[in-house]
Amino acid sequence: MLQKAQQIKDPNERICYIIDQFKPNAGFVYDSQLPILEKGKLRIRLESFDCITFIYYMLAMNKARNFNEFVDNYKKLRYKNPEELGVDNDPENGNIYDFTFESLYENAVEM
């Protein structure tokens, strides 16, 4: 699906195509109600989303040619400096962006 999506040159059309692949079957689960994962673990679930996780995933997929690129893009959107700090999901002491403004405005603009 990601390879096919990357054949679509217009990024708006590409993200619409990606969203259409998930729309009919995506379940809704609040990510914030799931257990906080231990340091170094990354949660990727494509069968269910909450609203903001759906947005993160679609944006990360829009620039990805394969699953590994999607995961890398997601980490860059969702975590502060994941290349050096890794992945730490602790909202108080970790490097996860806990607020949409941080991740989708400040961090995404830098990508």
pLDDT in tens, 38-49: 999 999 989 888
Give percent of the chain with pLDDT exceeding 70: 95
What is the pLDDT confidence band of residue 19, given thresholds at 50, 70 and 90? very high
CA distance 50 to 30: 5
How far is residue 10 from each of residues 18, 63, 65, measured CA to CA in Å? 12, 11, 15
**pLDDT at position 9, please?**
94
User: What pTM, to 2 d.p., does this model score?
Assistant: 0.85
What is the pLDDT confidence band of residue 110, given thresholds at 50, 70 and 90? low
